[in-house]
Amino acid sequence: MMTTRQLQDEILRLKKEKDICILAHAYQSHEILEVADYTGDSYGLSQQAAKAPQKNVLMCGVRFMAETVKILSPEKKVYLSNSGAGCPMAEQLDVEMLSALKESNPDYTVVAYINTTSELKTICDVCVTSSSALKIVNNIDNDKILFIPDCNLGAWVEKQVPQKTFKFVHGGCPTHLRMSVRDVKKARAAHPEAKLLVHPEVSAMADYIGSTTGIMKYAEESDAKEFIIGTENSIVQHLQYECPDKKFYPLSKDCVCHNMKLTTLMDVYNCVCGQGGEE
């Protein structure tokens, strides 16, 4: 039998011994974040991995994130900590479907959210993150945009770029889609002094809209003392650790990404032992 602390200490020892850089997406559990070399959003993690001196990279997240790391660091061995951890939104389109969309919309620039498979990234025109989408779309010469796969993030960009014409496919994050206007009204009624911070994939009357790391940075730097968090509920826990003098509430108790929750600390341990994960 091993305690959480003992397991973490062994992971910390083994990752140094085996030259492994551990990346943990912000939606992972706090016990995993504590043993990671870098934590954050998917693209930011892939950039950190490219700069890291280690020759081996372990992604604690979902499949498209490990693929993105490999794209930016082709010379490194990249492992996914739990092979079953996928992303429903990334899998909503395949190459055949996107190829057909491009053929029927030849005058549109295809903008793909980073939450897509590596195969789709090879045939889109540009790839964006939630924090860079608005700036990149604004700078595209074409005024016709086909935004995939998340129509909610795309619609958020569309509202701020009214001079361009947008087309969307029916897609989005099932986790973020669990949050509704009703949840917003209920949370605001329960916590009237709290600031509402949401991810761009969430349609809500918010005090702040931004990426996951943007939400965390805002909460940490704000003078406010209470916050309603409109993204995956692990962020509530992480912020409670980071800001023990502030209070954080989930916008919805159902905003849980089951794919992110597949990865356990034991999965990470097995990976650094060479007995688990997928290269």
Residue 216's closest CA among 60, 37, 40, 29? 40
Closest CA to 235 of 176, 155, 191, 150: 176
What are the CA-CA distances from residue 94 to residues 25, 144, 177 (Å)?
A: 24, 22, 21
Confidence band, pLDDT 50/70/90 cuts, at residue 177:
confident
Beta pairing class for 247-250 and 226-230: parallel
Residue with the bigger pLDDT between 173 and 236: it is 236
Q: Give the list of residues 6+ apart from residue 107 with CB closer than 8 angstroms, or none.
A: 142, 144
Whole-angstrom Cα distance, residue 91 to residue 104? 21
Confidence (pLDDT) at 203:
65
At residue 214, the pLDDT reads 92
Confidence label for 144 from pLDDT (cuts 50, 70 and 90): very high
Residue 72 exposure: Cα atoms within 13 Å on the Cβ side? 17
Position 131 confidence tier, pLDDT thresholds 50, 70, 90: confident
Kindly report whether the global pTM for this prediction surpasses the value 0.85.
Answer: yes
Amino acid identity at 239? L
What is the pLDDT confidence band of residue 207, given thresholds at 50, 70 and 90? Answer: very high
Helices and strands in the chain, H and E counts: 13, 12
